[in-house]
Amino acid sequence: IYTLGILGGGQLAQMLSLAAIPLGVRCVVLEPDPQAPARLSAEHLQAAYTDAAGLDQLAQCDAVTLEFENVPTEATAALQGRVPLRPSPAVLHLSKHRAREKAALVEAGAEVAPYVVIEHAADLSGALKTVGGTGILKTSELGYDGKGQARIGSAAELRAAWKEMGGVPCVLEGLVPFVREVSLGVARGQDGTISYGPLVENVHAGGILRRSIFPAASSAAPGGVGTEQHARRIARSVAEAWDVVGLITLEFFELPGGELLVNEVAPRVHNSGHLTQDGGGVSQFEAAVRAALGLPLQDFGPLLPCGMVNILGWEEGDEPDWDGLECLRGTRLHWYHKANRPGRKLGHVNVVGESREEVQSRMDAVERLLGTRRD
């Protein structure tokens, strides 16, 4: 029996540890919140991420991975050299900071949206013009689900938004006229073996992922290769350039001509990969566990058309129709045991079907029962 340490005990840790059990892997999470989701499926060390006794226990594991990128540097520094950290602190250092991440993506040969790093008031002048006249200001650190972001349409708005964010380091990105968003997970073993996840198509609203579907509709990338091949090439370049061992997920914007810009990289399993739990095949969670522990890898992902709908926290009086959801054929509810707060990710529903169309109409039915679709 292997043991895998996980920094963070949220829903991703819950699902990693559930996927680990059939592989003969026991998970141990370090997580300060006594009510965190993974307490049900893993051994829970309830302590701060920098707690010496907790870190000592993680250091006894066969490998340590993480479920969020904002793990304090002290925690990874305390583990380094004592236990394999996958992905490595170096990858984490890049992916927790937007400006560093973008520079490292460009260096790896990937394309990103036009951007300007904003660190001083002087960086503001001309910045909006440089990125094309409309943009999104994003804090370099700590943002998720569209938090720490503002749409910018004028130089005055840019100044006001940066002030509103407290003048912290930011990047201003040009607003990308994408035709769709896609994502791809890639796992890399210590020997350099690469395995890919499915190319998934994602729909966001208000900066939050609402639904994902597999397979992504095919479209042509430049050079005549399909979008999936194009995305795989970029993912491989990044995984190799960053010397990733473990699993990372790339989010892309697809442009009208089929070009792919990398939006951001998560050094971990990703919300858009949750549909891999129920489409047959190896899930992203199993792939991440295998990659962290050096177990054999195979391409992961669904064998059937499938999709995922996120369950976001509801306003009072708008509670979803749970009985309806649990009885809907071709769907499975995954619940994170978190308290309701409007807009918070509380669970998801995975959907399978014979075709993309069937999956899509089942996802519509799920959204009606969640109360997020009225037609």
Q: Which is nearer to ligand ATP, 253 or 314 (CB)?
A: 253
> How far is C-alpha 229 from the chain's CA centre?
20
Q: Does 136 bind ligand ATP (CB under 6 A)?
A: yes
CB of 25 to ligand ATP, least distance (A): 27
DSSP state of 306: E
CB of 204 to ligand ATP, least distance (A): 4
DSSP state of 317: T
The reply, when asked if residue 143 is annotated as ligand binding, is yes
C-alpha 330/C-alpha 358 separation (Å) is: 10
Q: Does 343 bind ligand ATP (CB under 6 A)?
A: no
Largest CA distance in the chain: 59
Residues 35-64 that bind ligand ATP (CB under 6 A): none
Q: Does 143 bind ligand ATP (CB under 6 A)?
A: yes
Q: Which is nearer to ligand ATP, 2 or 144 (CB)?
A: 144
Residues that bind Mg ion (CB under 5 A): 251, 264
C-alpha 240/C-alpha 230 separation (Å) is: 16
Q: Which is nearer to ligand ATP, 69 or 286 (CB)?
A: 69
Residues 172-211 that bind ligand ATP (CB under 6 A): 173, 175-176, 181, 204, 207
Q: What are phi and psi of 159, to 5 degrees?
A: -60, -45
The reply, when asked if residue 145 is annotated as ligand binding, is yes
Q: Is 178 exposed, middle or buried (0-12, 13-18, 19+ CB in 10 A)?
A: middle
Q: Which is nearer to Mg ion, 251 or 367 (CB)?
A: 251
C-alpha 6/C-alpha 41 separation (Å) is: 12
Q: Which is nearer to Mg ion, 145 or 358 (CB)?
A: 145
Cβ neighbors of 297 (< 8 A, separation 6 or more) are 187, 189, 193, 194, 195, 287, 290, 291
Residues 241-260, one symbol each (x = binds ligand ATP by CB under 6 A, - = not), give ----------x---------
Q: Does 146 bind ligand ATP (CB under 6 A)?
A: yes
The reply, when asked if residue 192 is annotated as ligand binding, is no
Partner from ligand ATP, Mg ion, none contacting 136, C-beta within 5 to 8 A by type: ligand ATP
For residues 269 and 285, the answer to whether their CB atoms sit within 8 Å is yes
For residues 115 and 125, the answer to whether their CB atoms sit within 8 Å is no
Q: Angle at the Cα of 54 (from 52 to 58), degrees rounded to 5?
A: 110
Which residues belong to the annotated binding site?
A: 98, 138, 143-149, 173-176, 181, 204, 263-264
Which residues belong to the annotated binding site for ATP?
A: 98, 138, 143-149, 173-176, 181, 204, 263-264
User: What residues make contact with ligand ATP under the rule CB under 6 A?
Assistant: 113, 136, 138, 143-147, 173, 175-176, 181, 204, 207, 251, 263-264
